Structure formats: structure tokens, C-alpha cells
Amino acid sequence: MQITKNPLSQQISGKIEKALNSKIVSATSLGGGSFAKVMRVGLSDGQTIVAKIAIGDNGKKLSIEGYMLEYLLKNTSLPTSKVYYYDDELLLVEYVEVNGNSSSYAQSSAAEYLATLHNITDKYYGFEKDTLIGGIVQTNSQRASWLDFFTNNRLLDMAEKAHNIGNLPASVMHHLDTFIARLPAYIDEPKQPSLIHGDIWTGNVLYRDGKVVAFIDPALYFADSEMELTFSTVYNSFGKDFFNKYNEIRPLSAEFFEVKRDIYNLYSLLVHNCLFGQSYAFAIDATLSKFI
């Protein structure tokens, strides 16, 4: 039965129904979208999907997100949402049922999935096009050196974005420059670039019946694989079972927990500084002070 009040515009409703060849029977807000309205949509053929509708001038970001999900589906074994349709205005993906938190089995399984993803390599760090993290465009121009890429495409690029909107003081920018000059003393070049999901935090790993069912909202690029592990520690996405299993498959560097985790977490802090304001500048400066 058709719903009596459809919160979606006639244009968006028409696009959804044409793309999936089915009538909309329900549409409710899921919330949580930083650059798009996120809706759970029920269809007359029994399907339930997620529709993301661009807010303001953010349309190209939906195209990037759709592209990243398709890339994972076509090129990797990482479980993620199926993509039904995307353009600059609308992204339609599978609705994934969840019913609980992680388990020891799920933690180990997540480690296996990500270790397998990280075994996918390339000649260069970066990606074939720019991607997104939290709605912010990540500059992915490809580079042969990880230190070069991490310095220019991650730390300096995101710091400049934060500084330009007034969230990162000039004094912290100066400390960042001092730190970057010393970075080769702390970080070695990895053996090879690894494909990473790029935004592994608790909300982006979905569980059902104690198992991992999907990794959503990717921020893809080729990197040092331990960038991925750093992001997972920001919100304690994984615990001991995850790290034990991952270390069995792809041994962690000796300096990961003592050095690299703090250094790579600078990028996460800079992203948060861009998104959520000046309070993160203090954490960035505190981390830099450990190394300068």
C-alpha cells in the first residue's frame, strides 16, 4: 500500500522507483548523514534499501561514495553494502540488518577481512581518484613514497583545510612543519602500498548475530596498512582478539603501539578538527609535542 505522506520529494521518489522498478511504501529517516539525508525506504516488492539524498551542493560526494562502494564490491572480498544506483544527487544501497555488538569471533573475522584487503597492492600510494572521509575530500594524487604521500596528501593537506576555515591556529601549523622535518626519524617506508578501507571506526563496522556483515562508508586509498589499524583504535573499534588475529596474519611493526599509532592518529585528529572545531587543535599540538 502506498504511504499517505511521502517525506521524499516527487523527483527523488520517481528516481528511486524507476531505478528499482518498484513503488515506495515507506520512508523513514535514519539520521547520521554529514552531507546527505539518509532514509530507510521500503518498496512494494518487499525490498528495504537505504537512500542518501545530497544536501546543498554536496552531490558529487554521493557519486564518490557510490564509486568507492562499487570498487570494493568489484575488486575485493570485503563485505559491504550492495549498490543499486548513484548519481550526484542520489545514492541507493542495500539496507543491512544489524542486531548487536561484536563478539570474539567477529573480532577475529574482522581481522581476517582487513588483512585480506591489505594484501591488495599497487605501485603507488594514493588512489586513481580523490575519495572522501567524513564528507571531506581526500587528495589522492599518487606518489611512490609513503612518507611523501603521508606528509603532503594527508598531514599538510588536511591541516591547510583546517587552518583555512579557522580551526587550526598558525602556532600548531608551525609545530606541524617542525614535526614533518623530523618524521623520517620515526617512520620507515613500508614494503608496499596496501589498499585500506580508510575509516574503520565503530559505526562503520556492522554486526549481526555476533558476525561482521558489512564495512560501510569507506575512504579508500593505498597506504601503509597500519594507518587502518590506527583509525580502529581511535574509538576502540576492535580489541585484543582483533589485534592478535591480525598480527598472526600480518605481523605489526615493533613500533606500532608506541610510535606509529600516535603519528598516524594525527590525520584522524586533523579530520576531526576540520569537522568539529578548534577543540581538536589542543590534541593535535599535544601529539606533536611528543616528537618535536
What residues are labeled active site?
199
Question: Do 228 and 114 form a contact (C-beta atoms < 8 A)?
Answer: yes
Single-letter amino acid, residue 145:
S
Q: How far apart are CA 213 and CA 228, in angstroms?
A: 19
Q: Can you read off the three cell numbers belonging to residue 269?
A: 585528529
Q: How far, CA to CA in Å, does 125 sit from each of 121, 149, 166?
A: 9, 7, 29
Dihedral angle at the C-alpha atoms of 162, 267, 290, 282, nearest 10 degrees? 40
CB-based contacts of 22, cutoff 8 Å, min separation 6: 43, 44, 45, 47
CB-based contacts of 130, cutoff 8 Å, min separation 6: 64, 137, 138, 139, 140
